[in-house]
């Protein structure tokens, strides 16, 4: 059976993960989305981003393909920063599960 999820909480539940794992998914997704937008707007290649951030093109390609397995939050934030952006962490209360 195929199911569609619309947020990290639903995704974590569908995958049988904890709410904490859902939060990690969400924490990685936000800078990933921003990096994709920055790359598209700036017509930047994966190699250009990698060189600017001091990481490998393979890792940048994985991130821009939304394959975040093994990608640390630290690396995502370093890439965002190297491209001239600052990340902000926004903490909000989680509403009870429906």
Q: What is the tens place of the pLDDT at every residue in 30-84?
A: 889 999 999 999 999 999 999 999 999 999 999 999 998 899 989 999 999 999 9
> What's the predicted TM-score (pTM) here?
0.77
In a domain, 49, yes or no: yes
SS3 78: helix
DSSP string for 36-72: HHHHHHHT--HHHHHHHHTS-HHHHHHHHTT--TT--
In a domain, 64, yes or no: yes
In a domain, 8, yes or no: no
CATH of the domain at 68: 1.10.260
In a domain, 10, yes or no: no
In a domain, 35, yes or no: yes
Assigned token pair, 12: 């974590």
Give residue 41's pLDDT.
Answer: 95
The parent domain of residue 79 ranges over 29-85
Residue with tokens 């969400």: 26
Cα angle for residues 16, 90, 55 (degrees, 5° grid): 75
Q: How far is CA 66 from CA 29, 30, 35, 91, in A?
A: 8, 11, 10, 23
Number of domains in the chain: 1
Rounded to whole angstroms, how far apart are CA atoms 35 and 81? 10
Give residue 96's pLDDT.
Answer: 67
In a domain, 44, yes or no: yes
In a domain, 65, yes or no: yes
Rounded to whole angstroms, how far apart are CA atoms 59 and 45? 13
Is the pLDDT at 97 greater than 70? The verdict is no
Is the pLDDT at 6 greater than 80? The verdict is no
In a domain, 46, yes or no: yes
């Amino acid at each position: 059976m195929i199911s569609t999820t619309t947020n990290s909480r639903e995704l974590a539940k569908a995958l049988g993960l904890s709410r904490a794992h859902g939060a990690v998914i969400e924490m990685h997704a936000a800078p990933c989305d921003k990096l994709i937008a920055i790359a598209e707007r700036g017509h930047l290649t994966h190699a250009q981003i990698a060189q600017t951030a001091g990481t490998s093109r393979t890792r940048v390609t994985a991130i821009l393909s939304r394959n975040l397995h093994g990608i640390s939050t630290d690396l995502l934030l370093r890439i965002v920063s190297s491209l001239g952006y600052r990340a902000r962490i926004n903490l909000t209360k989680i509403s009870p599960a429906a």
